[in-house]
Amino acid sequence: MFMESLLIIALIIVLYYLGQFLLAIIFDVHNDHYFIGFGPKLFSVKIFDVVISVGIYLPIPGLSRIYKYESSVKKKINLPWEFHEHPIWKRFIVTMGGSLSVFLIGIICFIMFSFFEKDQFLSKEDLNRYGIEPSKYAKSLGFQRGDKIIKLNGYEYERASEISNLSDETVFTLQRKDSIFSVNIEKEAFQKTKNYLDDFLLNPLIPAIIDQIEPFSPAEQMELKKGDRFVSINGDTVISINDIRDILAKDTIGAINALVERVVHNDTILIEKSGVLNEDKLIGFSSRSITVSYYQNTLKESFFKGIINYFTLIKNNVRSFYYLLSGSSVSSKTLSGPIRIADNYSQKLSWVKIIKFIGLYSISILFFDLLPFPKSTMIYVLPLFYEAITRKRFSVKAAERLNKTSIVLIVVLMLWVVAGDLLAVYPG
């Protein structure tokens, strides 16, 4: 929901400035009187030796105004780098205060989410319940549909994710019907390709067993029932739900002749059913879903898992931004801004989702705050680097030119990305 998302974003912005303000007070790098918001003064508070007057404050990007207040007049605040009477290291810490605050908030949220949200995983037993569905590339390496993976490198495993995370040479112990044998896979096989379908994939086989019938569908008209298992369709053998998709995709007449297996009074019988497909070439049923298991992380496990996941997402954003600059294709799932995050997590917000929402948005803020964009932390840190290297003060006019340059930079970046997209679409 939009309003809930906006409130969470506003909360993060308040925490951003609160972190910077607290460090400014601790290191005494601040103005004496601040005015927050716009319009007339509503009230004032004093925190240590700093007076804060509050007007109408909207913690929304572009509208979260903060001024210094002198003789009842609002003026542009002095940024931390402008307090030249303080050492550079103090001003640097205060400048980084907002980013540090968001960084810590993000880590805390990811740790909390890891603790309160149970891990969902596919167990070895559920992966092998009906066998595996190997990708085309995996089939070329010796895997077959219905194979069961017994061991990895001679050892037992618990989760299917242990297979998807493999990166070194691995010996798979397989069971194919009544025989058990090994398949040796070189490390090069696990390298990811640009085409997902060409990757080494071993997915669970989803049997073609009906779980639910859609009302007024061809399946209902054919009098199919829950628990029926498709044996063949239009003469083609059916083992998994993927077979049905492939058969219907190549259909040209819109008719279906199916042989299904049905259990009646503990006896298994074969029944022939015929019907007409709907306009979408669908039968109108849903199959049995994959059974998943859940695991509750301990507080210690959540601590390390939350930190690892947080840094992994930061790394993915950095890598995706690099691909964006280099003209490579970027998945929208790896480089997400606040709008996409809000869209993904604002439909039905539980307090656990709110925690993850805050964590994800903190990464978005941190990522863009550490790039040389207008009014970002990086732009305010550059004068301190200049002063540290040259031992000369960075002038206000130079800061204004730097901010204008950052605006030009972001425009050039946008044009570069658009040009890359156009060249990819129209290479000639």
Question: Which residue segment(s) compose the domain that 257 sits in?
Answer: 210-287
Shared domain for 149 and 198, answered yes or no, is yes
Alpha helices per DSSP H over 83-216: 88-95, 97-116, 124-127, 136-140, 161-164
Residue 238 in tokens = 């059916």
Shared domain for 337 and 399, answered yes or no, is yes
Residue 216, domain CATH = 2.30.42.10
Residue 59 in tokens = 């913690």
In a domain, 148, yes or no: yes
Question: Closest by alpha carbon to 386, among 88, 24, 29?
Answer: 88
Shared domain for 339 and 310, answered yes or no, is yes
Four-residue CA torsion sign, 76, 77, 81, 86:
positive
In a domain, 180, yes or no: yes
* pLDDT tens digits in sequence order for the chain, 428 residues long: 567 777 777 888 888 889 999 999 999 999 999 999 888 889 999 988 899 999 988 877 667 788 998 888 889 889 999 999 999 999 999 999 999 999 999 999 999 999 999 998 999 999 999 899 998 889 999 999 999 999 999 999 999 989 988 888 999 999 998 999 999 999 888 876 655 556 778 889 988 899 999 998 999 999 999 999 999 999 899 988 888 988 888 888 888 899 999 999 889 999 999 988 888 888 989 887 788 899 999 999 999 999 999 999 888 888 777 776 666 554 444 445 554 555 554 455 678 888 988 898 888 888 888 888 888 899 999 999 999 999 999 998 998 899 889 888 888 877 876 776 676 666 65
What residues contact 302, with CB distance under 8 A and at least 6 apart?
111, 112, 114, 115
**Any idea what DSSP says for residue 337?**
-
What does the pLDDT read at residue 38? 85
In a domain, 28, yes or no: no
| Single residue among 144, 169, 204 that ends a domain in this structure | 204
| Single residue among 168, 187, 204 that ends a domain in this structure | 204
Count CB-CB contacts under 10 A for residue 363.
22
Shared domain for 217 and 135, answered yes or no, is no
Shared domain for 357 and 308, answered yes or no, is yes
Q: Phi and psi at residue 375, in whole multiples of 5°?
A: 60, 25
Number of domains into which the chain is organized: 3
Shared domain for 253 and 370, answered yes or no, is no
Shared domain for 376 and 322, answered yes or no, is yes
In a domain, 67, yes or no: no
Shared domain for 424 and 309, answered yes or no, is yes
What does the pLDDT read at residue 428? 55
Quote the crossing angle between the two packed helices 2-26 and 88-95, to the nearest 10°.
Answer: 170
In a domain, 40, yes or no: no
Name residue, tokens 């077959």.
144
Distance separating alpha carbons of residues 108 and 54, to the nearest angstrom: 29
| Single residue among 151, 184, 204 that ends a domain in this structure | 204
Check: CB of residue 177 under 8 Å from CB of residue 154. Answer: no
In a domain, 107, yes or no: yes
What does the pLDDT read at residue 319? 79
Question: Closest by alpha carbon to 99, among 399, 344, 380?
Answer: 380
Shared domain for 143 and 196, answered yes or no, is yes
Shared domain for 341 and 410, answered yes or no, is yes
Question: Closest by alpha carbon to 225, among 264, 280, 278?
Answer: 264
In a domain, 333, yes or no: yes
Q: What is the pTM of this model?
A: 0.70
In a domain, 177, yes or no: yes
Beta bridge partners of 70: 73
